[in-house]
Amino acid sequence: MADHILPKQLTGMADEKSDHESHCFVAKLFGKRAQNREVQEARILEAATNCFVRAGFRGASMNDICSEAGMSPGALYRYFPSKESIIETIVASHRKASAEILNRMDEYDNIIDALVMVGVDHVRKKSADAAGTSWDERSALLFSEVRAEAMRNEAVAAQCELYEGQMREKLLSVVSAAKTKGEINPVGDLELVVATLAAMGEGVVMRNFPAQGVPVEALEPMFRALAVAILRPVQK
């Protein structure tokens, strides 16, 4: 009885011949159809990212994205309901990838080293975890675009606020832990310290120094000096 309530397309099954699962809901997630859908979505997002980097969110048209993806508009709109939804998806994964770089901070026992690593990894354009979302060379180019879009697009602003809030929390917890342990003596209010560090770091990331021939190694002492100046580690 209840089976008739379920939409038909959710009852499809993969090529593996497991009849007892053919009406299972989650089976859809591993079906051939579903797999193809994910591949196509990734193809679209990849093409859209290239177009957005090249021309901006508003400057790139859906036709551009279709051409880049080798797909007709009719086909593309089966996977994303609107241009807006593509933008939101890309922005979310962009900020997510940025936020995930902070996850590796715990690998360092020294907070200064951890902070320098965060900055360096951001300009180095390498993802923190191998199996996560990618933080490639286009991310830096997309940074100013995302920030500009967030100023007037509520959904994009919400995505930014979500992940940036996570980043601030993570930074704050690390910094306040270090302060509690007496390792550092920051210059001011902890929340402001964290926000300023993030803002200054973002400023450097946006400039995209590596693309201008400045090696990451040259930036490292700057990040270290900045971290030391603001966190003020106590002498031992």
Interface residues with a second copy (CB under 8 A) are 54-56, 58-59, 141, 144-145, 147-149, 151-152, 187-189, 192-193, 195-196, 199-204, 206-207, 209, 214, 218-219, 221-222, 225-226, 228-230, 232
With CB under 5 to 8 Å by kind, the binding choice for 228 among a second copy, DNA, none is a second copy
Rank residues 74 and 188 by Cβ distance to a second copy and give the closer one: 188
Q: How far is Cα 229 from Cα 185, in angstroms, rounded to an integer? A: 10
Contact 151, 136 (CB under 8 A): no
Q: How many residues bind DNA (CB under 7 A)?
A: 30
Determine phi and psi for 182, rounding to 5 degrees: 75, 15
Rank residues 83 and 124 by Cβ distance to DNA and give the closer one: 83
Rank residues 13 and 159 by Cβ distance to a second copy and give the closer one: 159
> Hey, which residues between 30 and 69 contact DNA (CB under 7 A)?
32-33, 36-37, 40, 58, 60-64
Contact 127, 63 (CB under 8 A): no
Tokens of 208: 């995209």
With CB under 5 to 8 Å by kind, the binding choice for 77 among a second copy, DNA, none is DNA
> Hey, which residues between 66 and 85 contact DNA (CB under 7 A)?
70-75, 77-79, 81-84
Residue 173 interacts with DNA (CB under 7 A): yes or no? no
Rank residues 144 and 176 by Cβ distance to a second copy and give the closer one: 144
SS3 assignment for 88-126: HHHHHHHHHHHHHHHHHHHHCCCHHHHHHHHHHHHHHCC
- Choose the stretch contacting DNA; rule: CB under 7 A; options: 4-12, 97-105, 176-184, 218-226: 4-12
The conformational region for residue 132 under phi > 0 = left, psi -120 to 50 = alpha, else beta, is beta
Q: How far is Cα 196 from Cα 231, in angstroms, rounded to an integer? A: 11
> What distances in angstroms separate CA 213 from CA 201, 207, 216, 223, one per listed residue?
18, 12, 9, 18
Contact 86, 45 (CB under 8 A): yes
Q: How far is Cα 119 from Cα 123, in angstroms, rounded to an integer? A: 7
Smallest distance, DNA to C-beta of residue 170, A: 34
Tokens of 21: 């699962």
With CB under 5 to 8 Å by kind, the binding choice for 138 among a second copy, DNA, none is none
Residue 89 interacts with DNA (CB under 7 A): yes or no? no
Rank residues 42 and 218 by Cβ distance to a second copy and give the closer one: 218
Contact positions toward DNA, by CB under 7 A? 7-9, 11-13, 32-33, 36-37, 40, 58, 60-64, 70-75, 77-79, 81-84
